[in-house]
Structure 1
Amino acid sequence: MLTGMQDSEPIEQVGAGVPDSFQRLWTPHRMAYIKGENKPTGTGPDDGCPFCEIPKLSDGEGLIVARGEAVYAVLNLYPYNSGHLMVCPYRHVADYAELDAPETAELADFTKRALTALRTSAGAQGFNVGMNLGAVAGAGIAAHLHQHVVPRWGGDTNFMPIVGRTRVLPQLLRDTRDILAEAWPRD
């Protein structure tokens, strides 16, 4: 139950805790991320790497936006913004320098297509594009290279991530996947 102010009058809090004027935004789905669920148990492709497992699923089930010969685009389960996707090689490699020429070319092409799809479908005004190579650089799954494409809009930042350690996402991932897959540029 929400607690807080309604028409400038406090509403009664039901349950544990001390009554106050704060509203609560419960995000229990984030607990999987906090606890590290779906993290690989090791560095090999057979050690539970989600980026090796996702391509085995249907597009809808795996949240795959598009598939290529060497790479695929997939929505991030823990997005910074709606539409946050990643471009991943099928091959289990940890470092950008390990990609061969066709993988490098298709990763670049899919990144460009992601920008186009997000501009077309969501009116993205800017982007953060990049890779975190290695755990010390912030890679959550360091053993399998993935490039982030995060759409941005003027005013898309607010106090929620800072104060509430919560991201507000206005659309379900499956709905976002369907919209982006439809807008994905074809050859």
Structure 2
Amino acid sequence: MEPLHEDGIGARDGLERLWTPYRMAYIRGESKPVDDSAGECPFCRIPQEGHDERFLVVRRGGAAYAVLNLYPYTPGHLMICPYRHIADYTDTTHDEAAEIAAMTKAAMRTLRSVSRAEGFNLGINQGSAGGAGIAAHLHQHVVPRWMGDQNFMTVIGHTKTLPELLQDTRRLLADAWTD
């Protein structure tokens, strides 16, 4: 194939491009809370906005809520967040811990129902050293998995493919959620 320019810049190489410009916000660390007193925590702001569809809130409870991850590992990747701004799981109240557990179960049932998830990764990355992207506000990941979902794109191309818009995933899960 001929290059688009004489110097070879823009040469056609036969590869498809998957553009993920939204990832730059994550790479730059945008929206990561530095100081909660400044109102910078996205997990505190999201439920206060009252725009569940816009901010991808799937379900609200009394002490916690479920929201889609803006930078998902797989389609349907949810996070269960307490409303209260706490960083450590040991600081949850009995009611918060119980609701996080109940919402995790409901999220798994919902994801199995709508997407036939074959397995799950569940977890809390506690603190920056534990891998938490936003260590200042506790959140539990609910990541649906399927056989073969980590293919050559992830292993070789360091790219994840998501076949559905987050807004569509949010609507599907919110409509199917049962407690």
Q: TM-score, normalised by structure 2?
A: 0.91
Residue of structure 2 in register with 1:150 after alignment: 143
Where do 1:38-57 residues align within 5 Å? 38-42=31-35, 44=36, 46-57=38-49
Instruction: Give the superposition deviation at 1:164.
Output: 2.1
Task: Tell me how far apart the structure 2 counterparts of residues 61 and 23 of structure 1 sit (CA, whole Å).
Answer: 30
Q: Which runs of 4+ in 1 moved over 6 A?
A: none
Bigger Cα displacement from structure 2, 16-25 vs 118-127 = 16-25
Residue of structure 1 in register with 2:174 after alignment: 181
Which of residues 109, 114, 118 is equivalent to 1:116? 109
One-letter amino acid of the counterpart of residue 140, structure 2: Q
Task: Tell me how far apart the structure 2 counterparts of residues 21 and 178 of structure 1 sit (CA, whole Å).
Answer: 36
Deviations 1:100-135 (A, max 9, x none): 000011010000000000001111010000000000
Where do 1:56-95 residues align within 5 Å? 56-57=48-49, 58-95=51-88
Instruction: Give the superposition deviation at 1:68.
Output: 0.3
One-letter amino acid of the counterpart of residue 75, structure 1: L
Distance 1:123 1:20, change over 3 A: same
Residue of structure 1 in register with 2:98 after alignment: 105
Secondary structure of the 2:132 match is coil
Task: Tell me how far apart the structure 2 counterparts of residues 13 and 99 of structure 1 sit (CA, whole Å).
Answer: 59
Task: Tell me how far apart the structure 1 counterparts of residues 33 and 67 of structure 2 sit (CA, whole Å).
Answer: 18
Deviations 1:44-87 (A, max 9, x none): 25341000000012110110000000000000000000000000
Which of residues 104, 127, 146 is equivalent to 1:134? 127
Task: Tell me how far apart the structure 1 counterparts of residues 109 and 17 of structure 2 sit (CA, whole Å).
Answer: 36
Unaligned runs of 5+ in 2: none
Residue of structure 2 in register with 1:5 after alignment: none
Secondary structure of the 2:107 match is helix
Instruction: Give the superposition deviation at 1:172.
Output: 0.3
Bigger Cα displacement from structure 2, 90-99 vs 47-56 = 47-56
Q: TM-score, normalised by structure 1?
A: 0.88
One-letter amino acid of the counterpart of residue 105, structure 1: A
Distance 1:170 1:95, change over 3 A: same
Secondary structure of the 1:59 match is coil
Considering only aligned residues, what root-mean-square deviation do their CA atoms show, in Å? 1.6
Identity of aligned residues (%): 57
Residue of structure 2 in register with 1:7 after alignment: none
Task: Tell me how far apart the structure 2 counterparts of residues 106 and 76 of structure 1 sit (CA, whole Å).
Answer: 19
Instruction: Give the superposition deviation at 1:21.
Output: 3.9
